Amino acid sequence: MNKNFSITFACYNALDYTKKCVESLIKHKTPMECLVIVDNASTDKTQEYLKSQIFTHVIFNKKNLGCGTAWNQGALALQSEWTIIMNNDVIVSENWVENLISSAEENNLKVISPALIEGDLDYDFDAFAQKNSALMKDSIRQGYCHAVCLAVHESVWDKVGYFQSNAQLLGYEDTLFFNELRKNNIPSGMTGASWIHHYGSITLSEMKKERGLSKKHGLGHRKNYRLLRQSWLERKIRKTILIYQATTRRKKEIKKFGVSLHGDRRHKKWSWL
């Protein structure tokens, strides 16, 4: 296993979730010297917690510089062949890094995301992940990845650059990045070999709270789509294709395995996406 990788996540408040993420990384023997944590000027006790721990790489921003800047800071602070960018409201599973990068190399992918369960953690995630990472290790959703967690090969930065670092994008950075991957024919995918649990948009909720917005309000500017420089028809066709592909893949995965690579857990019930 090539250990030339780094892991980074940004945090803004939501200390309980950052603790859960760190505890999960430690539990599954993720090398903490490979971790870069970027704090975007948290106003709760997150900074106190980070300063009290023996982390090798922590960056404290004096103000909230946004997701894109924080992700770039983490990626550049510990430059590696593979950079894993993830949310702070994530729980990982056994051998998640090894399985993620190995799957990318075996399938010649330059950007890859793990399979994902979102929502309530009211089930045995470790047992679920162990079973399904073995069962679905060869399953790949070609051309699809997500910003909850993604491993990016160093060659991608050279070809498409890093994330846009405009704090006003407020979460739209991933859409712009994925658009650049598509335009430049960067091979990407989502693998069933590695699994994570995602509680769901915790940092975005904190930023909405800071701005006095309700959960139903969008955080980013409603005209951000113009940055894609695509017509309404282009976006509509693209969205239709993605929905069709997701539906087809989901049905095939459920038929073969009983689950899909993307699930949602709410009120003790499963739904597959």
Q: What is the pLDDT of residue 164?
A: 85
- Mention the CATH class of domain 5-222: alpha beta
Closest CA to 69 of 173, 153, 150: 173
Q: What is the pLDDT of residue 1?
A: 40
Structure tokens at 177: 């990045």
Does the pTM exceed 0.95? Answer: no
Look over the chain and give the mean of its residue pLDDT values, rounded to a whole number. Answer: 89
178-226 pLDDT, tens digit per residue, is 999 999 999 999 999 999 999 986 666 555 565 555 555 555 566 666 6
Residues with Cβ < 8 Å from 201, sequence gap 6 or more? 89
Closest CA to 190 of 102, 114, 77, 247: 114
Residue 227 in contact with residue 32, Cβ under 8 Å?
A: no
CA distance 94 to 176: 31
Could you tell me the residue ranges of all domains in the chain? 5-222
Listed as ranges, residues in the chain with pLDDT below 50 are 1-2
Q: What is the pLDDT of residue 210?
A: 59
